[in-house]
Amino acid sequence: AGPCDLYSSGGTPCIAAHSSTRALYSAYSGSLYQVKRGSDNTTTIITPLSAGGVANAAAQDTFCASTTCLITIIYDQSGRGNHLTQAPGGAFKGPEPNGNDNLASATGAPVTLNGQKAYGVFISPGTGYRNNAASGTAKGDAAEGMYAVLDGTHYNGGCCFDYGNAETSSTDTGNGHMEAIYFGTNTAWGTGAGSGPWLMADLENGLFSGYNAGNNAGDPSISSRFLTAIIKGKPNQWAIRGANSASGTLSTYYNGTRPNKSGYNPMSKEGAIILGIGGDNSVSGQGTFYEGVMTTGYPTDATENSVQANIVAAKYATSSLTSGPALSVGSSISLRATTAGYTTRYIAHTGATVNTQVVSSSSTTALKQQASWTVRAGLGDSACYSFESKDTAGSYIRHYNFELQVGANDGSKQFHEDATFCTQASLNGQGNSIRAWSYPTRYIRHYSNVVYAASNGGVHTFDAAGSFNDDASWVVGTSFA
């Protein structure tokens, strides 16, 4: 059985079921998600390998070979048509034209399920999905349940990486107008034990770790790589439950009455569905979503326990974040441009600015050093890399406003993540392409001889689609100095 078969047996069927990794009903063999590629803007639909099975990641890999790919639709498997698509601008605007949010890279969150490759939905700040016309979702004070499988190591303090029930207007219409899973380290409202990240409920104008916004010592910091997150609510009762998705059973972090603050009892749920954003399209959160559902009715703990067992049996595990020619940690390298007319240029820096410069064996020692980088284990994720400046020890290439800079490692999570890059088989067949770990739609790319973290056809001038694949492909060589 799949998770939604279990919810059905429990009398609380799924009214929305979303996953880019697997079918959530044992008989489901339909659409899981749609991807769009950069080379010709065409789309394809990814389905399970077999009914009830894991997504056909190989079909995505073939379709997306030598180009970039975005996730355009996450289909609803429940049959209600509650698909998730690019979120429109709300009270807060996304980065795309008209205030729309970004779409997620199709390749930012590779995993395996029972040894079979699949891709999650990697949400960077600015990215979001939504359905403001969902059917069958809880409205008003009606009962509902939901779970999501998330990456317990991908989070931030921004508002708000959510999955669940929200406003149909993409604006904040008041307390109690949402009921969604939140995951991260935001401390503006509730907090749990330790320093986070925490699983909380976004009930609008508040992230709740327990009875009222504020500290609830019963809501633990999460440390597992995969996290099963559960929120459920019914008249004057709600609960938070969580578990390691890879092993073990659910714990209840809160189970009790509604907040005593005005607006939360009764609730005024509106029934839109959000992923990766807040109710008002707050777009500062980050996280990774693998699968999740929403139900009608308040699931029993026993039903949820059987769903957790099903998730454990799916055997989520990590998979390599890199491909293409391997880099060796500790080695000193140069990075040569491959765009015709620019192939004598290498990634270098002039002060904080990262640019390309013509470098050769007869260049000055100073320039040779400016164009030389030491490969380090990724500061933000050791499965990828960071590039330390040869002439400024302790300084690394990082992105800031999507421009590359050389900056001193200040030890912060933000710096570490901004300075982490994942290499992959190159987009133009020469060397590697190098994507930003925290923004996997963005690649190290030169434009007018300055170097950026650029997306293929995005809103910035430096995102121009013309010569993107060439500008984002680099030959790794031994260093000049």
Rule CB under 6 A: which residues touch ligand AHR? 159-160, 172, 202, 204-207, 278-280, 282, 339, 342, 399-402, 414, 418, 446-449, 453, 467, 471
Provide the terminal-to-terminal Cα distance of the chain, rounded to the nearest Å. 59
Cβ neighbourhood burial of 430 (10 Å; 0-12, 13-18, 19+): middle
In angstroms, what is the minimal distance from the CB of 10 to ligand AHR?
29
What's the rounded Cα separation, in Å, for the pair 445 and 453? 6
In angstroms, what is the minimal distance from the CB of 75 to ligand AHR?
24
CB nearer to ligand AHR: pick between 46 and 434: 434
Task: Identify the three-state secondary structure at position 156.
Answer: coil
In the block, tokens 């999650």 appear at 120
- The Cβ-side half-sphere exposure at 41, using a 13 Å CA radius, reads 4
- What is the maximum alpha-carbon separation in the chain? 76
Contacts of 108 (CB under 8 A, 6+ apart): 119, 120, 122, 124, 288, 435, 440, 441
In angstroms, what is the minimal distance from the CB of 183 to ligand AHR?
13
CB nearer to ligand AHR: pick between 201 and 246: 201
CB nearer to ligand AHR: pick between 111 and 159: 159
In angstroms, what is the minimal distance from the CB of 169 to ligand AHR?
10
Q: Is 204 a catalytic residue?
A: yes
Cα distances (angstroms) measured from residue 215 to each of 203, 219, 238, 240, 450: 16, 8, 17, 14, 46
In angstroms, what is the minimal distance from the CB of 278 to ligand AHR?
3
In angstroms, what is the minimal distance from the CB of 409 to ligand AHR?
13
Cα distances (angstroms) measured from residue 200 to each of 221, 317, 446: 11, 24, 41
Q: Which of 280, 388, 470, 471 is catalytic?
A: 280
- Phi, psi of 118, rounded to the nearest 5 degrees: -155, 170
CB nearer to ligand AHR: pick between 244 and 370: 370
Alpha-helical regions (H) of 371-418 = 413-418
CB nearer to ligand AHR: pick between 2 and 192: 192
Q: Which of 76, 167, 204, 219 is catalytic?
A: 204
The residue at minimum Cβ distance from ligand AHR is 278
Strands 179-184 and 33-37: unpaired
Q: Is 388 a catalytic residue?
A: no
CB nearer to ligand AHR: pick between 62 and 412: 412
- Residues carrying an active site annotation: 204, 280
